[in-house]
Structure 1
Amino acid sequence: MANTGEYQIRLIQNQDDIDTLVLMHKAVFSNVLSGQIGNGFLSYYYQLIIQKGFIYGCYNNDTLLAFISGTLNEKELGGIKFLGKALWGVLTHLSAKSIASLFRHIKRVYFLKDVTINAELLSIIVKEELRGKGIGNKLLTHFESHLLANHIQTYKVFTDLKYSSGSSFYEKEGFKLYREMNLLGLVTRLYIKKLSIKA
């Protein structure tokens, strides 16, 4: 556990925290696929990340304020099984918007056949009223320390262009735009960051 002033950053391993992760995710990503297809899918998603990836939470005492999720190897998240769950979630909710979003994700896979970087930042979620206080930066620093401890110096992250604050944050944190993709009308950006090893 890392203490950063009034906040503590620690690894989330308890399945009991998943309900809180789901609620925070839905509040932030209400306009994208994963926020539209129900709590069952999101619960599965975060269970999978806890098992195959990692999630660090930023707490004030025992209150979760923000979290960052990622994986050292995206292939370990079981893409086919994950996609099957996503498709089930979309079809059972009968949302045309969600179906279009799913096909954007499939198209994204096609666009990225040449990208060999497996480590991925999946999301940073900070409660709206706490943004701009440096919490995202603290989580990202902790995330990168985890990567370096596992001998990983390069990782990637995706963001939609319509979330201009996401692009601004990543660019300020040293990410370089690798590719911009138009996925059925939604512009998605792939950023890559190379970490330096401190002597």
Structure 2
Amino acid sequence: MIKFFISLFLVATLASAEEMGTKGGSCILSQDGPVSVSWKAYKTPAKLGVGGTFDSVKYTANAPKGNNFREILVGSSVVIDTASVNSKNSGRDVKLVKFFFEKMKSKNITAKIVNIKSDKRIRGKPKTGVMSVAVTMNGVTKNVPMKYVFNNGDFNAIGSIDLLDFSASKALSSINKACFDLHKGKTWSDVTIGFQTNIKFELCNTK
């Protein structure tokens, strides 16, 4: 009977740790592996999506380990080399660099996580919430809300930006002109952005 109750206790503790409801240092979180940044832009009047990533993303973590998402994520930043854009179509990538990103004031896009807020926890469900990210592009900085989902170690966040908010109308017009026929005369200003990483946890206190 004692072993039975001990087993129940350990299962409950592990479940609590996995959901990251860390109070009193019940677990230690750390980012494990690379960070990737994804995007999806839209073209044609039907708003067809075209997605991709960046091959060169320099990530600086706020802390290597912590007791919760706030401790390891808030203050972390990325520097994205836009010349490394990868849509799995080399011809498209050349156009994106030449007719879009090179029309910007800087070849880099930077982003910094400035806040994170978790939703109410539902036991047995993925952990969700919203993080606020300060994105700097074309010399303009805007705070962008990104909804996140944490499940089985995978942390995924998604948000949306409007290129016009970053004074990028010149770059938008340039890529629309360069791809006028392919885009059927329409390149949308809204872009979906994503942030992906892996977060692992270690059990550190079962008392």
Same fold? TM cut 0.5: no
Structure showing greater relative contact order (alpha-carbon pairs closer than 8 Å, 6 or more residues apart): 2
TM-score (norm. length: structure 1): 0.31
Which has the larger share of strand? 2
Normalised TM-score (structure 2): 0.30
Give 1 or 2: higher helix fraction. Answer: 1
- Of structures 1 and 2, the larger Rg is shown by 2
